Amino acid sequence: MHTPTDMTDFHTFAVVFAIPGASSLETHLDELAAAGCDDAAFMGPATDGTFLAEFDREAPDFTTAVVSAIDALTGAVDGLRVQRVCPDDLVTISAIADRTGRTDESIRLLVRGARGPGDFPPAAGRINDKTYIWRWVDVARWFETALDERPAGAEHARLIAAINHALQLSAMTDELREHPEELAAVAHFMPPHLEPA
Amino acid sequence: MRNKHPKKDVEEALQEAEAAGMIVKDGHGHWGVIWCPGDEDDRCPRPLWIWSTPKNSQNHAKQIRRYTARCTHRPT
């Protein structure tokens, strides 16, 4: 017989965050534990000053796990700002190769259409003249539909991409409020059906 | 010489990490910290803080093993 407690599972993901003025997590560990984040491994700082929390969170589903983790982190330390959920949505050829178990050259051939059925998703942008980046959600979907392969973790690509976009927009809210015309322009493109039911 | 971690699962993972070249130091944070000494300027991946009483010691041991496995440096 299953009780609601039996129906939970452990979900693994990572969250990148920043704490203004903090050069170490050492003095914040008590607050993070008190907020229920002692199911995460905390790392940092990285060279860019950010920290990483790698969760193995018990929850009924992946979405609940990620949302509760972000809420717990945000409420744990004053000023803590969650930047993104990993694995990152933006990927290079090397990252695609790593996530799909192929070589870089194999991915280049797929991108060019020299191998596979073609129609690889268009790049989301480029970092410099030589380095293109793609959205993982697009790439993972293409692997499923075009090659009948499902890269590990691909089932969460859409949720992670959407949450990361929402987090980026949220981080800009204060600045946008100071420029009402820009805020109105952004609001113009907000899909009304994203409002929770 | 460091103290043993009170959780057997975690201690085993820490010993494996040390055998792989990682530095483990107790007496910091909740229990201690682990890091890769391979490149001081760009530590890989970055220092990991070890809980003394993690919510789930088996999962914390897994987290330490994942951290160790991800290191691409060659500790000296």
pLDDT at position B45: 58
Q: What is the pLDDT of residues A23-56, one digit of tens each?
A: 889 999 999 999 999 999 999 888 888 999 999 9
Report chain B residues whose CB lies below 8 A from the CB of A41: 48-49, 60, 63-64, 67
pLDDT at position A3: 47
How far is residue A47's CA from residue A125's CA, in Å, rounded to a whole number?
24
CATH 3.30.70 domain range(s) in chain A: 1-86
pLDDT at position B76: 43
Q: What is the pLDDT of residues B1-59, one digit of tens each?
A: 899 999 999 999 999 999 998 999 998 878 999 998 876 555 565 889 999 999 999 99
Residue with tokens 């380095």: A131
- Nearest-Å Rg of the Cα atoms of chain B is 11
Fold of A1-86: Alpha-Beta Plaits (3.30.70)
Q: Does residue B75 surpass a pLDDT of 50?
A: no
pLDDT at position A146: 94
Q: Does A43 touch chain B (CB under 8 A)?
A: yes
pLDDT at position A6: 55
Does residue A23 contact residue A67 with C-beta atoms inside 8 Å?
A: no
What percentage of chain B exceeds 90 in pLDDT?
A: 61
pLDDT at position B43: 53
CB contact (8 A) between residue B53 and residue A26: no
Q: Across residues A83-98, what is the average pLDDT?
A: 90
Q: Across residues A48-75, what is the average pLDDT?
A: 95
CB contact (8 A) between residue B46 and residue A45: yes
Q: What is the mean pLDDT of chain A?
A: 90
Q: Give the ipTM of the model, two decimals please.
A: 0.89
Q: Does B72 touch chain A (CB under 8 A)?
A: no
Q: Is the pTM of this model over 0.90?
A: no
pLDDT at position A104: 95
